[in-house]
Amino acid sequence: MAKHRVYFAHGMESGPWGTKITALAKIAKALGCDVESPDYSGERDPDARVRRLLALQPQAEDKLILVGSSMGGYVSVAASCTLKPAGLFLLAPALYIPGFDFGGRAAAGMIEVVHGWQDDIVPVDHSIRFAREHQADLHLLVAGHTLTERMDDLNHLFSAFMERVLRQN
């Protein structure tokens, strides 16, 4: 079993190895983590995606980190209630939207959220609310929903997050 493992959850319209996940996975690997990115393509029900992730029984010898983008953010938050990862990194998470109610509190050692001010899919206020309720670090960027126009910033934020999670006891 890997000492540290990162599980990525992609959004509704993307795939397991899109631009963001590929870039962030490279950072995780450089920090000595194994990475997994299950393919949820074709599954539009967010709770079915959560069940699929939990069925994979994600675990690590030391640190398990969940990373989710958009619908994958919802999947990661909902799964965190069961998995209790060391870290939860969310990119424009689809939260507080009808049909996306995980019915609990996220459970992770460290939580960080990145959202774009110009997101026209998931209102930025939803991430502000989540961050407030969970006392999570929140980064608001001048960007749209995908955040890909700010990849350098995402890479920097994720790298710093990973280093903090891997250092925590």
Report the CATH number at residue 160.
Answer: 3.40.50.1820
Confidence band of 142 (pLDDT split at 50, 70, 90): very high
Confidence band of 13 (pLDDT split at 50, 70, 90): confident
Task: Check residue 135 and report its DSSP letter.
Answer: T
Residues 46, 50, 51: CA angle, nearest 5 degrees: 115
Q: For 153-157, what is the mean pLDDT?
A: 98
Please say if the pLDDT value at position 169 is more than 80. Answer: no
pLDDT reported for residue 98:
85
Please say if the pLDDT value at position 101 is more than 90. Answer: no
Confidence band of 4 (pLDDT split at 50, 70, 90): very high
Contacts 24+ apart (CB under 8 A), 45-49: 46/71, 46/74, 46/75, 46/78, 46/94, 46/99, 46/100, 47/78, 49/9, 49/75
Q: For 144-151, what is the mean pLDDT?
A: 97
Q: Within 13 Å, how many C-alpha atoms sit on residue 157's CB side?
A: 22
47 sits in which H/E element: helix 46-55
Please say if the pLDDT value at position 1 is more than 80. Answer: no
Total domains in the chain come to 1
pLDDT reported for residue 112:
98
Q: Angle between the 71-83 and 46-55 helix axes, to the nearest 10 degrees?
A: 40
Mean residue pLDDT across the chain: 95
Q: For 148-166, what is the mean pLDDT?
A: 98
- Give whole-number Cα distances, 67 to 2, 14, 125, in Å: 17, 14, 20
Distance between CA 65 and CA 75 in Å, rounded?
13
Q: For 52-78, what is the mean pLDDT?
A: 96
Range of the domain at 49: 4-167
